[in-house]
Amino acid sequence: MEIEYIETFPLLYELSEPYGDANGYKKYRSCFLFKITTNDGIHGWGECIDWLPTIEKGFNERIIPYLIGKKATDRTQIVKVVKKWNKRAASGISMALTEIVAKSAGLSVCELWGGKIRESIQVYASFQSYSQDKNWVNHSLQLIDQTISKGFDQIKIKIGGRTLQEDFSHIQAIQSMLEEKIYLALDANQSYDFSTARKWERYFKKWQNFLWFEEPIPIEQISDYKLLRGNISIPIAGGENLTSTVQFLPLLINGAVDIIQPDIMHENGVHEYLETLHLSRSFGLRSSPHTFDGPLSRLYALFAQACLPPWSKMEKDDIEPIEWDVMDNPFTSLVSIQPNNGCLMVPDGIGIGTEIDIELMEKYRWDGRIYH
């Protein structure tokens, strides 16, 4: 079962209206999908995200020539080599090879991983709250209202990109509109220091519907995370940009967070991602995946959550939710599995249990021009 050829699908979509978070505004959404096919006709899909000119050049000149002729079953060695060149490409390749191995055995990805424990997983609606509209708060409220009408009962809101008072007013407006009936996570994208982050406690004590406080301070400030965790009344979450299981250890050993948020596209492949999830269970902690950037990586996060043991005996019938991008992004529809009333059903089919929408990919195929 040797790799015979690889097709690449670089995708670009320019936003009509930029949106963003504490890191700035997005002007476009991009996605890099690829299809690996073996000499016996089995194919698997992979996905990564990077600046398209860079990742396309890397695939054409180095990664594809290396992959041709390799055994698809040699996943560990292949990922080990490719991650030296591009870690995100290595993660995507591990997805594609995982699907190929599952298909060759006549199994779903969940069956390959030991079998799913649950049939559906909750998702939370993830917003990029800031816009260039002068009335950005009203614009945000409209988006939230439209999303809640589709059945979501958990949402994530961005903070840290405006003054504290502006963000406080935004959250107050949301709470007033939703009458505190919807669960909220607040994501600061590492934009505060300890003393500023702690000021949010006055609101955490006031309202009872917060899910977690996400990356309020730089993730490497472990001692401040531990101190903050002891000074606020809601869970602290983080870790989306960490690239290996080892990097999560300081957070876990020092009791710095309540919830880890690994992203499969940022870690060194599918297997390391799974190791990170199971490590959180060894520490009795929750794992709610970060999956904002890609439909295929979100699907693999769904499979992993379906197979993951519960984090405590008290929560044996529940599982942490997965992030669902509800902003303007056509690539969310590249896979047919979509939420219904805030839940995703886990597919049963062979491999990933669905196909990628080729027609949609061709519509948004990047034309090779430089973009910013």
CATH code (residue 64): 3.30.390.10
Note whether residue 22 is domain-resident: yes
| CB 357 within 8 Å of CB 336 | yes
pLDDT, tens digit, for every residue of 305-347? 999 999 877 765 679 999 999 999 999 999 999 999 999 999 9
Instruction: State the total domains in the chain.
Output: 2
Note whether residue 17 is domain-resident: yes
| CB 93 within 8 Å of CB 121 | no
Domain with residue 239: its CATH number is 3.20.20.120
Q: What is the pTM of this model?
A: 0.95
Looking at the structure, tell me whether residues 61 and 159 fall in a common domain.
no
Looking at the structure, tell me whether residues 157 and 60 fall in a common domain.
no
pLDDT, tens digit, for every residue of 28-84? 999 999 999 999 999 999 999 999 999 999 999 999 999 999 999 999 999 999 999
Note whether residue 350 is domain-resident: no
Looking at the structure, tell me whether residues 41 and 136 fall in a common domain.
no
Which residues form the domain of 321? 111-345
Looking at the structure, tell me whether residues 87 and 235 fall in a common domain.
no
Looking at the structure, tell me whether residues 10 and 34 fall in a common domain.
yes
**Per-residue buried b or exposed e for 40-63, using 16+ beta carbons within 10 Å of the residue's own CB:** eebbbbbbbbbebeebbebbeeeb
Note whether residue 89 is domain-resident: yes
Looking at the structure, tell me whether residues 255 and 317 fall in a common domain.
yes
| CB 356 within 8 Å of CB 334 | yes
What are 286's two structure tokens? 């929750």
Closest CA to 22 of 195, 316, 199, 218: 218
Looking at the structure, tell me whether residues 222 and 283 fall in a common domain.
yes
Looking at the structure, tell me whether residues 118 and 211 fall in a common domain.
yes
pLDDT tier, 368 (very low <50, low <70, confident <90, very high otherwise): very high
> Catalytic residue positions?
158, 290
Predicted local confidence at residue 317, as pLDDT: 61
